[in-house]
């Protein structure tokens, strides 16, 4: 049943008609638990609250599957507004974004132009930018774009997904760049031809790439809510005397808030992924797909209205 629900919500996440309806009617049906609001001002308020609790942030102006240059440019401009807000308010925050929102599906010229504008603004404001990873069909292109940008910018990183067979090779290939990488399990529905179908295999591969990247001496963001992976990472850094300033844990806004604060008290750096904007639907559906408890929470909220 859990897999059926996961597949169902992942299917819904790609429905463009529902995405348009969601933009029109706003953050209803429980989405506000996982999304900070529709404007940068609301996001700034949430980031300040999190910073005061000792939590770092990466903020994301939500959007994906952009298919025209005008909209891609608008997405880039909104990312720059977020960067400038981080600088203005001196927030402990980075920026995350998706290549499809910057025009990757339109042309390399469009996406590179927008990314260079963003990274220039980020450099001026001392903000680090992480390029999110999307589905497998866009993985190679995303990594190629990251490699090209990394030549000119130190303030950029990307994401590597543990459920893909190619992941160990990607870690090896990127090592020469000394990259700052966010390591995740992966949240898209993929073919068994390219991804591990069983959770236990994904978990083992996740541990493998965490160890690889840390022992390569590179900064590692372990993005997980899985206590087993968190404990594995703690033991690993202890065993190999890896300093706390070489890694961090990352979690999603609205999920396991108490656990985030517990890890801060233990002396670990925790970064919370805070999304905002009107294009929240696809992100919200993937959060429902990840954990049945999220679905139960939303249904409970709807019944109260």
- pLDDT at residue 12, as a whole number: 44
- pLDDT at residue 220, as a whole number: 98
The CATH T-level fold of domain 36-279 is TIM Barrel (3.20.20)
- pLDDT at residue 185, as a whole number: 93
In this prediction, the residues of the chain whose per-residue pLDDT falls under 50 are 1-2, 5, 8-13, 18, 21-22, 24, 294-305
- pLDDT at residue 205, as a whole number: 97
Q: Is 124 among the catalytic positions?
A: no
Sequence-distant (6+) residues with CB within 8 A of 240 are 214, 215
Closest among 164, 151, 157 to 97, alpha carbons compared: 157
Sequence-distant (6+) residues with CB within 8 A of 210 are 183, 220, 222, 229, 232, 233, 236
Per-residue DSSP letters for 63-111? -----SHHHHHHHHHHHHHHHHHHHHHT-SEEEEEEGGGGTTTT-HHHH
DSSP symbol at 164: B
Phi/psi zone of residue 72: left (φ > 0), alpha (ψ -120 to 50 degrees), beta?
alpha
Choose, from 6, 150, 182, 286, the residue flagged as catalytic: 182
Per-residue DSSP letters for 184-248? E---S---TTTB--SHHHHHHHHHHHHHHHHHTT--EEEE---HHHHHHHHHHHHHTT--GGGEE
Q: Is 172 among the catalytic positions?
A: no
CA dihedral 266, 34, 201, 264 (to 10 degrees): -10
Q: What is the pLDDT of residues 168-214, one digit of tens each?
A: 999 999 999 999 999 999 977 789 999 999 999 999 999 999 999 99
- pLDDT at residue 33, as a whole number: 72
What are the domain boundaries of the chain?
36-279
Choose, from 6, 60, 105, 132, the residue flagged as catalytic: 132
End-to-end CA distance of the chain: 27
Residue 150's Cβ-count burial label (10 Å; 0-12, 13-18, 19+) is buried
């Amino acid at each position: 049943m859990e897999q059926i629900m996961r597949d169902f919500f992942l299917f819904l996440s790609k429905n463009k008609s529902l995405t348009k309806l969601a933009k029109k009617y706003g953050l209803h049906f429980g989405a506000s638990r996982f999304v900070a609001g529709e404007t940068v001002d609301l996001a700034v308020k949430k980031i300040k609250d999190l910073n005061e609790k000792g939590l770092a942030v990466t903020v994301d102006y939500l959007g994906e599957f952009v298919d025209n240059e005008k909209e891609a440019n608008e997405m880039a401009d909104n990312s720059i507004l977020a960067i400038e807000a981080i600088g203005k308010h001196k927030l402990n925050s980075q920026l995350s974004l998706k290549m499809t929102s910057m025009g990757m599906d339109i042309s390399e010229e469009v996406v590179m132009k927008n990314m260079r504008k963003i990274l220039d603004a980020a450099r001026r404001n001392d903000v680090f930018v992480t390029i999110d990873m999307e589905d497998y069909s866009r993985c190679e292109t995303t990594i190629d774009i990251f490699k090209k940008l990394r030549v000119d910018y130190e303030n950029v990183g990307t994401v590597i997904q543990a459920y893909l067979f190619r992941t160990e090779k990607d870690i090896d290939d990127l090592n020469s760049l000394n990259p700052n990488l966010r390591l995740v399990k992966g949240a898209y529905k993929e073919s068994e031809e390219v991804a591990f179908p069983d959770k236990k295999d994904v978990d083992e591969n996740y541990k493998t790439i965490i160890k690889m990247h840390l022992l390569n001496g590179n900064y590692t963001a372990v993005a997980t809510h899985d206590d087993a992976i968190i404990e594995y990472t703690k033991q690993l850094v202890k065993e190999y005397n890896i300093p706390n300033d070489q890694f961090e844990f990352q979690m999603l806004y609205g999920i396991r808030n108490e656990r985030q604060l517990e890890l801060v008290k233990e002396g670990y750096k925790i970064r919370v992924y805070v999304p905002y904007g009107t294009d929240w639907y696809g992100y919200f559906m993937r959060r429902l797909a990840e954990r049945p408890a999220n679905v139960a929470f939303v249904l409970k909220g709807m019944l109260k209205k």
